[in-house]
Amino acid sequence: MKTLDSISALKGTHVVLVEGSKDIAALTSSGVSGDFVCVQSGGGPVRAAEAAWKAGKSAVILTDWDRRGNILADDLRTNLMALGVSYNTRIRDTLAFLCGPYAKDVESLDSVILHLEKSLLGMRGVGMGAIIVVEGIDGTGKSTLCARLAKVLAEEGYEVESTSEPTRGKVGGLIRSGAFEGVSQSTEALLFMADRNDHTERMAEAASEGKVVICDRYFASTLAYQSSGLDGGRADMDALLPLCEVFAKVPDLTILLDADPALTMGRVRSRGEDVSKFEEAGFLRRVREKYLALAEEHGFKVIDASMGPDEVFEAAMREIREVLRCIRRRRSTRRRARSSRGRG
Ligand code: TYD
């Protein structure tokens, strides 16, 4: 797990202030090496701060985050500040976040480490991988949302891969270049599908390595856009669906950002961007309807994109956390079943 690795990486340059000697034992047994200072056996926050000062190093505060731990962390901060020692609580905050649901029961860092090992470290190789797709008509804020989701999930310790369609690969590049301008909507759908074929393999591989893949547009884009009668031509949705089954993969979560084209087109124009052939109000209205019907049929999570970016982000994170929790639960149940079969 990244957070534990980054504690090891502090060795030599930082001292890590922990509450008790049991905490050092817990960290060491989890493979973390470091220059630890124990607050309890060292005589409290003042002595611990002095030890950091004497070592001439910056400090990381890694006490428990139960009520007592928070008071202790505050004391340490005050004393370190008085001695002019710089300190960092980011790692503490990250661990606190990961252990959020357990925080009220946490008595010692020991039990937290145990929990982390059980729920996260044990999944190395098995992978916490997931494919999360964000869909919506242009101007719903997909790109902004995807970038923010990727940043925050990475800060929380997930390995994240950001991607989008049309891709920047060979077929996607040709689509973007406009080389196929003027082809029918069915041909265009097949081109998007060909681009998707390679892309799906790459995404599945990343997910199997344990990465959380955030993908801006996927097969629902083809189903919604190419069957909505651009220039009077449309691909047959019933012909496209079986192709999706062959060349795409059902994502773990699809978020649909939904808003009225009157609003989204205004947003696109205010960005000063060129309006593409796809951005015509009547057409986009039909695309929106298709998207909403697909959402109903395939269980996409619909988020009202007329809300502010923070609210949209919070709503999307709630959905993602729920999905990641389910995946984690599913995998640990499977692991338990495997190991009990092994014993039996
Ligand atoms: P867009 O998400 O706007 O890409 P970027 O912001 O990187 O340029 O996608 C470009 C357009 O392609 C968009 O208007 C929707 C359209 N599109 C389809 O019509 N079908 C598809 O299958 C995909 C993936 C995109």
Residue 292 lies in a domain: yes
pLDDT value, residue 123:
45
Q: What is d(CA 63, CA 11) in angstroms, rounded to the nearest whole number?
A: 17
pLDDT (mean) for 263-267:
91
183/299 same-domain check = yes
The alpha carbon of 274 and the centre of ligand 1 are apart by a number of angstroms equal to 13
Residue 218 lies in a domain: yes
Q: What is d(CA 116, CA 98) in angstroms, rounded to the nearest whole number?
A: 8
Residue 38 lies in a domain: yes
Q: What is d(CA 319, CA 255) in angstroms, rounded to the nearest whole number?
A: 8
pLDDT value, residue 29:
77
The domain boundary, picked from 62, 97, 121, lies at: 121
Going by pLDDT thresholds of 50, 70 and 90, the confidence category of residue 43 is confident
160/238 same-domain check = yes
Number of domains the chain is built from: 2
46/116 same-domain check = yes
Residue 340 lies in a domain: no
pLDDT value, residue 41:
79
Terminal Cα-to-Cα distance of the chain (whole angstroms): 31
Closest ligand 1 atom, residue 166 Cα: 24
95/163 same-domain check = no
The alpha carbon of 173 and the centre of ligand 1 are apart by a number of angstroms equal to 12
Residue 114 lies in a domain: yes
Which residue lies with its CA nearest to atom 22 of ligand 1?
222
Angle (CA) 182 186 192, round 5°: 85
Q: Where are the alpha helices (DSSP H) in the chain?
A: 2-8, 21-29, 44-55, 67-82, 90-98, 109-119, 142-155, 170-177, 185-208, 219-225, 237-247, 261-270, 281-298, 309-343
- Residue span of the structural domain in which 313 resides: 125-333
The alpha carbon of 165 and the centre of ligand 1 are apart by a number of angstroms equal to 7
Of 294, 296, 262, the C-alpha closest to 280 is: 262
Residue 19 lies in a domain: yes
216/72 same-domain check = no
Name the region of 139 (left: φ>0; alpha: ψ -120 to 50; beta: rest): left
Which pTM does this prediction carry? 0.67
The alpha carbon of 219 and the centre of ligand 1 are apart by a number of angstroms equal to 11
Tens of pLDDT, residue by residue over 181-235, are 889 999 999 999 999 999 999 999 999 888 999 999 999 999 999 999 887 789 9
Q: What is d(CA 190, CA 230) in angstroms, rounded to the nearest whole number?
A: 15
Q: Among 144, 165, 280, which is best to mutate for testing ligand 1, by the most ligand atoms less than 8 A from CB?
A: 165
Q: Provide the mean pLDDT of the chain.
A: 87
**Residue 112 in this model has a pLDDT that exceeds 80:** no
136/259 same-domain check = yes
173/305 same-domain check = yes
Residue 341 lies in a domain: no
The domain boundary, picked from 63, 86, 121, lies at: 121
What's the token pair of residue 299? 């269980």
Between 85-94, 97-106, 247-256, the lowest mean confidence (pLDDT) is in 97-106
Residue 110 lies in a domain: yes
Q: Among 167, 198, 217, which is best to mutate for testing ligand 1, by the most ligand atoms less than 8 A from CB?
A: 217
98/143 same-domain check = no
Which residue lies with its CA nearest to atom 23 of ligand 1?
221
Residue 267 exposed, middle or buried by CB count within 10 Å (0-12, 13-18, 19+): middle
**Residue 24 in this model has a pLDDT that exceeds 70:** yes
Going by pLDDT thresholds of 50, 70 and 90, the confidence category of residue 287 is very high
Residue 26 near residue 46, CB atoms below 8 Å: no
Instruction: Give me the CATH number covering residue 9.
Output: 3.40.1360.10
The alpha carbon of 187 and the centre of ligand 1 are apart by a number of angstroms equal to 15
The alpha carbon of 151 and the centre of ligand 1 are apart by a number of angstroms equal to 22
Residues with CB under 6 A from ligand 1: 138, 164-166, 192, 217, 221-222, 225-226, 276, 278
195/180 same-domain check = yes
251/205 same-domain check = yes
